[in-house]
C-alpha cells in the first residue's frame, strides 16, 4: 500500500490554511541576499554537520566562528574563507554586537551554556538559533525567552525534525485523517554513551546536561507532540539506573514514560544511554500503522506504512541542518513564519521535568496542563522538498 503523502494531497486536506501565520514582530531584514550566521562552539556537531551544511544553504551563510580554541577556530576560518576578524573567543564574544556581518548566532555549546550565550547574543542585538535542549533549567529557558522579547529578536530552537521530510510526511498523513484517529504514538530514542568521548563526558554530568532524557529522549517528547499536534495533559514515568555502571553515577540511565493527550491518544516513550543506537517512532491509528525506523537520524531515515515503504517522488533526503539554518534566515528576512519557537523549547523542558518528577515519585501521575499551544504546525508550512 502506498499512500499519497504529496503536498497537494495534504494541502487539499486543509493543512495549507495556516500558511500565512504572523511573521514575528522583530524587524524583518528584507532585501538581504543572505543572512550571516556565527557558529558558537566548534565541537562534534558544528564540525561534522553544521559547518559542512552551509554549502547546502541558499539563505544562510557562515559569517563567523566562536571558540575557546583559537588555533582550531583560525584553521576552520581559513578553510571556510572567513577573514581572521570573523574569529571570536568566548572572552571577546560580546564584540559581535558591532559586527554587521553577523545576523544570527547559532549556539552549539554544551546544554548548560545555552542560556548564557543566547542571552549575550540577544543583548548584542543578534537573532539566535539555539541547539536542543533549550537549557538545563526552566528558569534559564524563561530568561532566554524574556531576553528575546526585550531585545525584539528571534529565538529559534534547533528542532531539525520539524524540517525533515519523512517526519513531515508522517505529520501530514496524520493530519489528513486518512488513517482515522491516532490511538498510540511510541518513541524509542537512545544510544550507548561513551565517557571517554569528551562530547559525552559533559552529557553524563547532570548539571551540564540532564542525561539521556534531555539528549535523546527530547526527540521522543517533541516527536509525540508534533505527530499528534496537541499537548499532553498527564504524564507517568519510571526510571531504571544501574549505579554500578560508572557512567550513571550522576545521571539516570533509562526512562520510560506514558502521556495522555486530549484527543484520547496515548504516547509512550523510552530513552537510555545504555541501549543500542535507536531513534524511531511508530504510530498506531484506527486504520493503519506508520513506522519511522530510523526516524530521526541525520540521514537514512525510513518511513513505512503498515510495513510497506512510503515512497513518493516528493520524499527526498535533504541536509536537515542546512534546511533549518535556511529557515531561520528566512524568518529573519520576513519570508517564513517561525516554527520551532522558544516556547516550544520551554514546553519540552517542562515535560521532561514532569517525567523526572513522576519517575522520582515511583510513577505518580503529574498534570502537564501548562497552557502551551503550538502557534504554527510544521506540517502546514514546511514544504516537502521536491525530488
Q: How far apart are CA 314 and CA 348, in angstroms?
A: 30
Minimum separation from the CB atom of position 230 to ligand NAD (A): 23
Stretch that binds ligand NAD, among 79-87, 198-206, 251-259, 367-375 (CB under 6 A): 198-206
Q: Which residues are part of the catalytic machinery?
A: 132, 219
Chain positions 53 to 112 lying near ligand NAD, rule: CB under 6 A, are 68, 108-111
Residue 160 lies near ligand NAD (rule: CB under 6 A): yes
* Smallest separation, CB 183 to ligand NAD (Å): 29
The burial class, CB within 10 Å (0-12 / 13-18 / 19+), for 164 is buried
Chain position whose Cβ is nearest to ligand NAD: 43
CA–CA dist 373, 102 (Å, integer): 32
Q: Can you tell me which residue has the cell 506504512?
A: 305
- Tell whether residue 314 is a contact of ligand NAD (CB under 6 A): no
Q: Are 279 and 299 in contact (CB under 8 A)?
A: no
Sheet containing strand 308-309, edge to edge, reads 308-309, 303-305, 288-292, 274-285, 182-192, 266-272, 254-260, 234-240, 366-367
Of residues 21-40, those binding ligand NAD (CB under 6 A): none
> Which residues of 203-273 form beta strands (DSSP E)?
234-240, 254-260, 266-272
Instruction: Write down the number of H helices and E strands in the chain.
Output: 13, 15
Tell me if 247 contacts ligand NAD by CB under 6 A: no
In the complex with ligand NAD, which residue's Cβ is closer, 5 or 279?
279
Smaller CB distance to ligand NAD: residue 299 or 369? Answer: 299
Residue 265 β-bridge partners: none
Q: Environment class of residue 225 by beta-carbon count within 10 Å: exposed (0-12), middle (13-18) or buried (19+)?
A: buried
Query: By C-beta, is 3 or 64 nearer to ligand NAD?
Result: 64
**Does 202 engage in binding with ligand NAD (CB under 6 A)?**
yes
Backbone torsion region of residue 28, taken as left when φ is above 0, otherwise alpha when ψ lies between -120 and 50, otherwise beta:
beta
Q: Please name the residue ranges forming H helices in 177-211.
A: 198-201
Site string for ligand NAD, 41-60 (x = CB under 6 A): xxxxxx--------------
158 sits near ligand NAD (criterion: CB under 6 A): yes
User: What is the H or E stretch that residue 261 is in?
Assistant: none
Q: Which is nearer to ligand NAD, 20 or 276 (CB)?
A: 276
Least separation in angstroms between residue 74's CB and ligand NAD is 15
Could you tell me the smallest distance in angstroms from the CB atom of residue 130 to ligand NAD? 8
334 binding ligand NAD? (CB under 6 A): no
Binding mask 116-135 for ligand NAD (x = CB under 6 A): ---------------xx---
For the segment 220-239, give every residue that binds ligand NAD (CB under 6 A): none
Of 111 and 278, which CB lies nearer to ligand NAD in the complex structure? 111
Name the grid cell of 383: 514544504
Q: How far is the CB of 9 from ligand NAD (least distance, A)?
A: 29
The least distance separating ligand NAD from the CB of residue 40, rounded to whole angstroms, comes to: 8
Q: Which is nearer to ligand NAD, 199 or 308 (CB)?
A: 199
Kindly tell me which of 133 and 232 has the beta carbon lying closer to ligand NAD.
133
Report the phi/psi class of residue 81: left, alpha or beta, with left for phi > 0 and alpha for psi in -120 to 50: left
Here the cell at position 73 is: 577556530
β partners of residue 375: none
- Omega of the bond leading into 216 within 30 degrees of 0 (cis): no
Catalog residues that contact ligand NAD under the rule CB under 6 A: 41-46, 68, 108-111, 131-132, 158, 160, 198-199, 202, 215
Amino acid at each position: 500500500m502506498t499512500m499519497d503523502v504529496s503536498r497537494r494531497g495534504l494541502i487539499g486536506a486543509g493543512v495549507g490554511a495556516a500558511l500565512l501565520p504572523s511573521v514575528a514582530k522583530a524587524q524583518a531584514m528584507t532585501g538581504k541576499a543572505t543572512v550571516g550566521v556565527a557558529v558558537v562552539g566548534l565541537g562534534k556537531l558544528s564540525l561534522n554537520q553544521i559547518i559542512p551544511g552551509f554549502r547546502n544553504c541558499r539563505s544562510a551563510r557562515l559569517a563567523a566562528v566562536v571558540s575557546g580554541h583559537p588555533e582550531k577556530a583560525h584553521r576552520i576560518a581559513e578553510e571556510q574563507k572567513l577573514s581572521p576578524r570573523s574569529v571570536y573567543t568566548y572572552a571577546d564574544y560580546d564584540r559581535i554586537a558591532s559586527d554587521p556581518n553577523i545576523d544570527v548566532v547559532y549556539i552549539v555549546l554544551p546544554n548548560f551554556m545555552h542560556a548564557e550565550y543566547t542571552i549575550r547574543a540577544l543583548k548584542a542585538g543578534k537573532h539566535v538559533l539555539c541547539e536542543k535542549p533549550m537549557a538545563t533549567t526552566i528558569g534559564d529557558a524563561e530568561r532566554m525567552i524574556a531576553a528575546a522579547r526585550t531585545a525584539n529578536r528571534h529565538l529559534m530552537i534547533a528542532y531539525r525534525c520539524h524540517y525533515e521530510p519523512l517526519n513531515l510526511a508522517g505529520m501530514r498523513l496524520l493530519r489528513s485523517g486518512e488513517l482515522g484517529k491516532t490511538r498510540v504514538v511510541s518513541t524509542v530514542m537512545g544510544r550507548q554513551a561513551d565517557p571517554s568521548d569528551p562530547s559525552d563526558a559533559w552529557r553524563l554530568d547532570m548539571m551540564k546536561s540532564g542525561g539521556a532524557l534531555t539528549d535523546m529522549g527530547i526527540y521522543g517528547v517533541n516527536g509525540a507532540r508534533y505527530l499528534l499536534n496537541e499537548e499532553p495533559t498527564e504524564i507517568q514515568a519510571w526510571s531504571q539506573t544501574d549505579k554500578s555502571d560508572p557512567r550513571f553515577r550522576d545521571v539516570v540511565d533509562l526512562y520510560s514514560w506514558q502521556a495522555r493527550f486530549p484527543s484520547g491518544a496515548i504516547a509512550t516513550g523510552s530513552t537510555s544511554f545504555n541501549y543500542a543506537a535507536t531513534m524511531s517512532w511508530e504510530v498506531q491509528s484506527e486504520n493503519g500503522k506508520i513506522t519511522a525506523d530510523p526516524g530521526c537520524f541525520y540521514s537514512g531515515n525510513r518511513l513505512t506504512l503498515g510495513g510497506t515503504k512510503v515512497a513518493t517522488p516528493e520524499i527526498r533526503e535533504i541536509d536537515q541542518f542546512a534546511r533549518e539554518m535556511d529557515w531561520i534566515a528566512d524568518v529573519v528576512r520576513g519570508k517564513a513564519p517561525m516554527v520551532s519557537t522558544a516556547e516550544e523549547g520551554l514546553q519540552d523542558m517542562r515535560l521532561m521535568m514532569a517525567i523526572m518528577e513522576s519517575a522520582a515519585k515511583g510513577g505518580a501521575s503529574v498534570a502537564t496542563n501548562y497552557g502551551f499551544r503550538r502557534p504554527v504546525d510544521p506540517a502546514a508550512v514546511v514544504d516537502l522538498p521536491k525530488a
